[in-house]
Amino acid sequence: MRNCSRTISMLLSRMLERTPSELGYRMPAEWERHEATWLSWPRREGISFPDSFDPVMPALRAMVAALIDCPSGSNCERLCINVCNGAHEAEAMEVLRGLDHSRITFHRIPTNEPWCRDHGPIFLTRKKQPRLAIVDWDYNGWGGKYPPWDLDEVVPTRVGEILDVPVFYPHMILEGGSIDVNGAGTLLTSESCLLNKNRNPTLSREQIEQRLRDYLGVREILWLGDGIEGDDTDGHIDDLTRFVGERRVVTVVEEKRDNPNYHALQENLARLRATKIAGQSLKVFELPMPRRIVRDNLVLPASYANFYIANNCVLLPTFADPMDEPVRERLQKLFPDRKVIGIDCTELIWGLGTLHCLTQQQPGV
């Protein structure tokens, strides 16, 4: 048994000397089948929801309820929730009282804040064993803005230990919300975030692109420009543009010319319309921006692009806005095999993120 364990360790060690791309790994598209969705439950003493912790709990409960709702014969997925300790788990259980817990598993992985999209594991898959792997990107609290982040920084490795899968280390700062992939070799990101000097000041654009190719198994990288007003992440792609097919994207646009978002979003739209993937043009679907939300003199980054694609549904953030239902109907046409569910995020957005920011998918293998 000892020799067998030593052999496995040696094989894993040799494997980790090569990049995921060399080993045949890729990051799947979000609409591909999930084994699970991961969340990091918020802490009352955290900084994400100042004076508003209890008001955001209904949105968390609604999100969990939608994710674990699994009609007979449908493609169910599990829900994995990171908590700090038993008291934290009990607090989450109280919020989720009355829901079916049979597909919920709590893991003792402490976090600083709840934004699992950014600090959580980026999962990769391939056809041969081990089929699942994790990339543990470095993390610095969105450019050093919100210390401490010591617990968040090690979450991917902790998940890798629990799942007993290989973990790769690119030694580059990257949040999961800053990238989106089509699962077929193309990645979307933004210059305002990924090229920001508060992330990787010693890496050039070309070096960053090479790490994306090496560690996510992509070939083409599509760059957009600036993010939306109020986005403290410096322009995460999941507030701007999302793949909804291999050659289809939705992108947010602002119709009012005097709105601060107008020119940046028009520039992004123009780039997308000029883009080709494998020689074929992207099909671009526009989503309107909700009305500007200001709270305590702070502009909040409300965006319909921050939806989450689960196995059986698409969770859409809504903002008590006249465009909530038209956007839901538009997305429903793009996802005919999933139910698009609007979840009121008027309180949740006070944390400067919504549903996609809270979730991280574990692909099926």
Q: What are the domain boundaries of the chain? A: 9-363
Cβ 156 vs Cβ 146: under 8 Å: no
- Residue ranges in the chain assigned as alpha helix (H): 2-15, 53-68, 86-95, 116-119, 141-144, 150-153, 155-163, 191-194, 205-216, 262-273, 324-334, 355-358
Mean pLDDT of 232-240: 98
The reported pLDDT for the residue numbered 278 is 87
Catalytic residue from among 116, 193, 345, 357: 357
Mean pLDDT of 96-106: 95
What is the distance between the alpha carbons of residues 64 and 99, in angstroms, rounded to a whole number?
9
The band of 159, judged by pLDDT with boundaries at 50, 70 and 90, is very high
Concerning whether 76 is annotated as a catalytic residue, the answer is no
CATH superfamily of 9-363: L-arginine/glycine Amidinotransferase; Chain A (3.75.10.10)
pLDDT surpassing 70 at residue 328:
yes
Give the CA dihedral 58, 352, 263, 279, nearest 10 degrees.
Answer: -80
Query: Is residue 10 over pLDDT 70?
Result: no
Lowest mean pLDDT across 13-17, 127-131, 210-214, 328-332: 13-17
pLDDT at 33 over 70: yes
Torsion of CA 284, 285, 288, 289, to 10 degrees: -50
Mean pLDDT of the chain: 95
Angle between helix 86-95 and 53-68 (nearest 10):
80
Q: Which amino acid is at 351?
A: G
Per-residue confidence (pLDDT) for residue 11, from 0 to 100: 54
Res. 163 pLDDT band, cuts 50 70 90: very high
Task: Write out pLDDT tens, residues 58-67.
Answer: 999 999 999 9
Alpha-carbon span 164 to 132, nearest angstrom: 9
Give the pLDDT confidence score for residue 271 in this predicted structure: 98
* Helices marked H in 165-261: 191-194, 205-216
Residue position matching structure tokens 């099909």: 283
Token representation of residue 294: 């200001």
62-95 pLDDT, tens per residue? Answer: 999 999 998 766 788 999 999 999 999 999 999 9
Type of residue at 307? F
What confidence score (pLDDT) does residue 75 get?
A: 85
Asked whether the predicted pLDDT for residue 47 surpasses 70, the reply is yes
Dihedral Cα 170, 172, 177, 182, nearest 10 deg: -40
CA of residue 21 relative to chain centroid, distance: 21
At 180 the pLDDT is 98
Q: Please report the pLDDT score of residue 135 as a whole number.
A: 98
Other Cβ atoms closer than 10 A to 1:
5
pLDDT beyond 80 at 14 = no
Q: Using pLDDT thresholds of 50, 70 and 90, give the confidence band for residue 6.
A: low
Q: Are 350 and 300 in contact (CB under 8 A)?
A: yes
Half-sphere exposure of 339 (CA within 13 A, CB side): 11
- pLDDT for 247-299, tens place per residue? 999 999 999 999 999 999 999 999 999 999 988 999 999 999 999 999 999 99
